[in-house]
Amino acid sequence: MIRHLYSAAWYLAEKLLPRCRPLLSDKGRRWVEGIQRSSALLQQCPSHAHVWIHCASLGEYEQAAPLIDALQARLPQRRILLTFFSPSGYEKLKSRRDITVHYLPPDTPSNMRRWIAHWRPRYAFFVRYEFWQNALFSLAAANVPTYLIAGFFRPSQPYFRWAAPFYRPIFRAFSGFFVQDETSAHTLRQFGISRVWTVGDPRIDRMAGFAPDEAVVARIRSFLPPERPVLIGGSTYPPEEAILQKVHARFPEVTLIIAPHEVSPRRIHAIQQRFPDARRWSENTPAPTSVLILDQVGLLKSAYYAADIAFIGGGFHARIHNVLEPAAAGLPIFFGPRHHDFPEAQALIHQGAAFAIHNAHDMIRQIQPLLDAAHRTRIGQKARTWIDAHRGATRRIIQQLEKEGLFDHL
């Protein structure tokens, strides 16, 4: 019954969303236009993709990217189809020419049967929490081996509690699960899933090998006064910005870089209201400032290499954002209280490289020792050491896929 209601909801959404487009945000309108384009593909002549990889958004793509690179290295002549649910991933990757990038069409039974018939994938990979019922059932019906990568599970999650009757058949549609830790593997086995391999998080491979854009780092440094510690707020929301304001008032010698999660004019204006003397990345002539706002997307990953301490956004919102990026840059890391669903955050806290805070008082108290350059270097090195010690997830996935015979059939 629930499965039929789910499909009916998607049928209804597919019909109504285009009519509601004028009422949606810019992001919502782009999403509707994207899924319409994907649906229109189904009217065209069939194409072919040897491997289909699906991610929710840009964050999940970071977990899929090392696998994509590894598959391309092993199978350079094979076509990869990459789909997204969110505009954040699609807009960033749509210009790639070495892979085919689309939105996931509405998850109705008919759409997914036609989607798989159109692309004829030989293998499929879904990332982390992407459990699209009709896509997975259609792949199973077409005998397409399908794997989840970067899975992270706990018994308290809805999949294993009140929503178990809905998710159990969905989980059984997978050919296997590549998970981040042994607790995830145990949780799945207790749920009746036997084909589970503990491999780690592929994002760590990506972050460990990342080389910052030196032009971005140099331009950021042209805004920064010399010989002053730099605190960067990465993917911030208003609660983090309020804390940064209090930290800056307490420690005026600390230079701030603020990279908000959203760079709309409204959000940038709100930050400038909070920091009236701030300069913006987009200004034509850089000049030293105590507060720099990164008002353009795509800079943050490199910007960490111009900083000394990181404060990651989302921990006072829905969930923290990427802590692996500042860890790879060798920075001490702060974030808010909503971090418990992220094993990397837990591990970095245990390593002594990250600190969870609840308010500005917490951060002021814990950041003070880090104003000593030697001390923060020692703490930051702990973060980078943890990154280096946990590489290898992609290699372990490829090794298991070899045992599965994937490379014999592509």
306-336 pLDDT per residue, tens:
999 999 999 998 889 999 999 999 999 999 9
Separation between Cα atoms, residue 254 and residue 257, nearest integer Å? 10
Q: Is the pLDDT of residue 248 over 70?
A: yes
Q: Are 125 and 64 in contact (CB under 8 A)?
A: yes
pLDDT of residue 23: 67
CATH class of 214-389: alpha beta
Considering the entire predicted model, what is its pTM?
0.88
Specify the amino acid at residue 309: I
pLDDT band of residue 13 (cuts 50, 70, 90) is: confident
Sheet strands (E) in 189-345: 196-198, 230-236, 255-260, 279-280, 291-293, 309-312, 333-335
Dmax (CA) for the chain in angstroms is 64
Identify the sign of the CA torsion 199, 201, 204, 206.
positive
In three-state secondary structure terms, 260 is: strand
Is CATH 3.40.50.11720 correct for 2-200+392-408? yes
Do the domains 214-389 and 2-200+392-408 match in fold? yes
State the average pLDDT over residues 384-405: 96
- Each domain of the chain, given as residue ranges in start order, spans 2-200+392-408, 214-389
> Residues of 352-373 as b/e, b for ≥16 C-beta within 10 angstroms?
ebbbbbeebebbbeebeebbee
The model's pLDDT over 159-218, given as tens digits with 9 standing for 90+, comes to 999 999 999 999 999 999 999 999 999 999 999 999 999 999 999 999 999 999 999 999
Q: 131 and 167 in contact (C-beta within 8 Å)? A: yes
